[in-house]
Homo-oligomer: A and B are copies of this chain.
Amino acid sequence: MGFYVKKFGGTSVGDLEKIKNVAAQVYAAHKAGDRLVVVVSAMSGETDNLVAMAQQLSKNPDPREYDVLLATGEQVTIALLSIALMELGCPARSYTGAQVRIVTDNVHNKARIVKIDQEKIKQDLDAGKVVVIAGFQGIDEHGNITTLGRGGSDTTAVALAAALNVDECQIFTDVDGVYTADPKIVANARRMDYVTFEEMLELASLGAKVLQIRSVEFAGRYNVPLRVLSTFNPGPGTLISYEDVKMEHQKISGVAYNRDEARILIRGVPDQPGFAGKILGPISAANIEVDMIVQNIATDGLTDFTFTVHRRDFNNAMNIIAPLADSLNFREVLTDEKVAKLSLVGVGMRSHAGIASKMFQVLGAEGVNIQLITTSEIKVSVIIDEKYIELGVRTLHEAFGLDKESLK
Query: A212 CB to closest chain B CB, in angstroms?
Result: 24
Q: In the bound complex, do residue A57 and residue B19 qualify as a contact, i.e. CB atoms below 8 Å apart? A: yes
Find chain B residues with CB under 8 A from A82 CB.
62, 65, 68
Contact of A287 with B by CB under 8 A? no
Find chain B residues with CB under 8 A from A75 CB.
68-69, 71-72, 75
Interface residues on A, range: 35 or more
Query: A45 CB to closest chain B CB, in angstroms?
Result: 14
- Interface set, chain A 98-154, CB cutoff 8 A to B: 98-99, 143-145
Find chain B residues with CB under 8 A from A83 CB.
54, 57-58, 61-62, 65-66, 69
Among residues of B, the one whose C-beta sits closest to the C-beta of A99 is B143
Q: In the bound complex, do residue A53 and residue B16 qualify as a contact, i.e. CB atoms below 8 Å apart? A: yes
Q: In the bound complex, do residue B79 and residue A69 qualify as a contact, i.e. CB atoms below 8 Å apart? A: yes
Contact of A56 with B by CB under 8 A? yes
**Could you say how many copies of this chain the assembly holds?**
2
Contact of A288 with B by CB under 8 A? no
Find chain B residues with CB under 8 A from A86 CB.
58, 62, 65
Contact of A50 with B by CB under 8 A? yes
Among residues of B, the one whose C-beta sits closest to the C-beta of A91 is B62
Contact of A78 with B by CB under 8 A? yes
**Which of B54, B58, B65 touches A94 (beta carbons < 8 Å)?**
B65
Contact of A372 with B by CB under 8 A? no
**Which of B56, B72, B96 touches A76 (beta carbons < 8 Å)?**
B72
Contact of A87 with B by CB under 8 A? yes
Task: Give CA–CA (A376, B71) in the complex, Å.
Answer: 49
Find chain B residues with CB under 8 A from A56 CB.
16
Contact of A80 with B by CB under 8 A? yes
Among residues of B, the one whose C-beta sits closest to the C-beta of A16 is B56
Find chain B residues with CB under 8 A from A96 CB.
68, 145
Q: In the bound complex, do residue A16 and residue B57 qualify as a contact, i.e. CB atoms below 8 Å apart? A: yes
Contact of A20 with B by CB under 8 A? yes
Query: A385 CB to closest chain B CB, in angstroms?
Result: 45
Task: Give CA–CA (A57, B90) in the complex, Å.
Answer: 14
Given A65-B82, A69-B79, 7 additional A-B pairs, CB 8 A:
A16-B57, A57-B83, A58-B83, A58-B87, A65-B86, A68-B75, A68-B94
The 10 closest A-B pairs by CB, nearest first: A69-B79, A72-B72, A68-B79, A58-B87, A65-B82, A61-B83, A65-B79, A57-B84, A62-B86, A57-B83
